[in-house]
A = this chain, B = another copy of it.
Amino acid sequence: MLDLIRSLAIPNTTKIVLLSLDGLGGLPRPETGRSELETARLPNLHALAAEAACGLLRHVAPGVTPGSGPGHLGLFGYDPLVHQVGRGVLESLGIEFDLRAGDVAARGNFCTVDAAGRITDRRAGRIPTETCVRLVERLRAIRLPGVETLVEPVQEHRFVLVLRGAGLSGRLSETDPQALDTPPLPVRALEPAAERTAQLVNAFVDAARPLLADARPANMVLLRGFDRRPDLPRFPEVYGLRAAAIAAYPMYRGLAKLVGMDVLKTGRTYADEIATLREHWQAYDFFFVHYKDTDKAGEDGNFDAKVQALERFDALLPAVRELNPDVLVVSGDHATPSILAAHGWQPVPALLRSRYCGADPVTAFTERACAGGTLGTLPAHHLMPLVMANALRLTKFGA
């Protein structure tokens, strides 16, 4: 699909804005029968929906709840089942670690082991981040032959381990047995070319054990999700777009960077992001703008906060419309229904407005209304080709 689009892409001067509301989709609150989108006052979004083609996006597969990585890759036009990104890589992106080609990254947990070395708590009682920072400092003392060993704290018990050097492989089993009362597992190579990397990781774990012996409850490490930075087709090259990402949160900046977008410096709020958009309007063809508040409120199970987050987003929509993009898309990377207090599998409302988006009966930007839109329920990675077409940036297929 990406190859097809790449072969059809043609230059134009049209401008595209993709507004991604993290965790956009919701579910009705049982008390009212109305979802977050159906509860919020969203005059600007509903007016835009009335002008747009609407539908629902499914990011991975029916019933499958997307993480933020696959969710955004889908929005960028990459089938997340084809382009898989390991947990270690996503964790590195989340702290804006400068992961390089060939690096192998793993997600690390500090954990608690008993005197016999058996795991008694896989998360070391969720130690404070300050403790994590201090213990990571100890792990940085570890030296392995022929590779650079990089350890970075994340949050609470979580850290990232990166091995940097030639000839490394991410095809490794995990040390986390995902069970208690059993010791961490040695890492095994899942392909012959990973033998040396497996030995290096096992040497790291062996070296970590004495360094942490007195640090109970965080007296051992678990490593999983080994992977190299995936070699994804570059977004600007596939689509022929000068592409910029505007995101206050590191994870989303990291994902955009992974596909080759320029990441613009911005502030902490969505208003800052919109200001950044305005500032760089002339320099790019495509803008990915990320809005985090909807997901945060949903993850907290806070229905009212999610409603308010939607209303804050709505209030800034006119500022985007003033720029008069040729194609304006509003959608999200996955649902985060407040009543689930977690990511959900439900397809996510999407709207696409352009001069050529066609007549559509939907006049409200809600899950229920978008289900009846002309976009239908479509795989998220089919959206970008539609965006490109609406930007008059795809030539026809066949004569």
Contact = CB atoms under 8 A, between A and B. Distances in A.
Interface of A: 1, 4-5, 8, 27-28, 30, 33-35, 38, 56, 60-71, 80-81, 84-85, 87, 90-91, 107, 225, 337, 339-340, 342-346, 355-356, 358-361, 367-368, 371-374, 376-378, 382-390, 394-399
Main secondary structure of the interface of A (DSSP, over half): loop
Given A376-B377, A398-B69, A398-B90, A8 B64 contact: yes
A254 to B, nearest CB: 12
Contacts of A397: 60, 64-67, 70, 80
- Chain B CB count within 10 A is highest, among A38, A225, A345, for A345
A80 to B, nearest CB: 7
A359 to B, nearest CB: 5
A63 B398 contact: no
Contacts of A339: 355-356
A56 B373 CA distance: 13
A262 to B, nearest CB: 24
Contacts of A385: 61-64
Copies of this chain in its oligomeric complex: 2
B382 A61 contact: yes
B70 A398 contact: yes
Contacts of A35: 358-359
B62 A382 contact: yes
Given A33-B359, A356-B339, A63 B389 contact: yes
A82 B85 CA distance: 27
A79 B370 CA distance: 28
Contacts of A371: 360-361, 373-374, 376
Contact of A399 (B62, B90, B399): B90
Contacts of A33: 359
Nearest to A33: B359
Contacts of A30: 355
A389 B343 CA distance: 11
A18 to B, nearest CB: 14
Contact of A4 (B5, B61, B344, B346): B61
Nearest to A8: B64
A341 to B, nearest CB: 11
B346 A358 contact: yes
A65 B4 contact: no
A339 B360 CA distance: 17
Contacts of A343: 396
A387 B63 contact: yes
